Structure 1
Amino acid sequence: MKTIADRLAATALLVLAATQASAQGDGAAGITEATQMVTSYFDPATQLIYAIGAVVGLIGGVKVYNKFSSGDPDTSKTAASWFGACIFLIVAATVLRSFFL
């Protein structure tokens, strides 16, 4: 007569064998499908990053204008940081797109 431990071990082996058998299907097709799904998101994501860069540029322009109008001596530093943020967003989107596609 089998004990509970023997039955659990046999069940675990059967589950493991079934998992291995189903995992050996067409893995290349799954990888290809996943690659196509990920690359299909790059164009909308790139456009979104460009739009975010434009909004950041507009907000930065308004902030720099306000500082310039009020005579703040810190205007050039603020302008450089906002301009750098916009350039980073645009360059990062372009580089990531060209690197992964």
Structure 2
Amino acid sequence: MKKQRKKLLYAVLTFVTINSVFGQGNGSAGINEATQMVTSYFEPATQLIYAIGAVVGLIGGVKVYNKFSSGDPDTSKTAASWFGACIFLIVAATILRSFFL
């Protein structure tokens, strides 16, 4: 009895899915809408990445200053990695924006 119910449920779900797929036509309207939605998120995402870069830059600057003030010998390595991370975030955001828009 349970197997028959499962088969009936699967048949109904398949029928509903097939009807919704055929009801959408060729799908170009859905693809265009999805494209519009994705491109609308790029400006806020780019601004968010720039904000994260600014916070990382400030925290890294304080770290480098503390190491420099304490006389730590690996200050230049910390400064280079901090600077590289900031540049990467800015360049990555700019390249992704120009690539997708």
Q: Tell me the TM-score normalised to structure 1 length.
A: 0.81
Aligned ranges 1:31-46 → 2 under 5 Å: 31-46=31-46
Structure 1's unaligned 5+ residue stretches are: none
The alignment-based identity, stated in percent, is 79
* Per-residue deviation, 1:18: 4.8
Cα RMSD, aligned residues only: 1.9
* Per-residue deviation, 1:21: 3.5
Counterparts in 2 of 1:18 and 1:66: CA distance versus 1, 3 Å: closer
Structure 2's unaligned 5+ residue stretches are: none
Paired position in structure 1 for 2:21 = 23
Q: Tell me the TM-score normalised to structure 2 length.
A: 0.81
Query: Which digits, 9 at most, give the CA deviation of each residue in 1:56-90, with x for residues without a partner?
Result: 11111111011011111000000001111100100
Distance 1:58 1:15 in 2: 54
Distance 1:95 1:51 in 2: 16
Distance 1:50 1:15 in 2: 45
> Partner letter of residue 63 of structure 2?
K
* Per-residue deviation, 1:15: 5.3
The number of aligned residues is 94
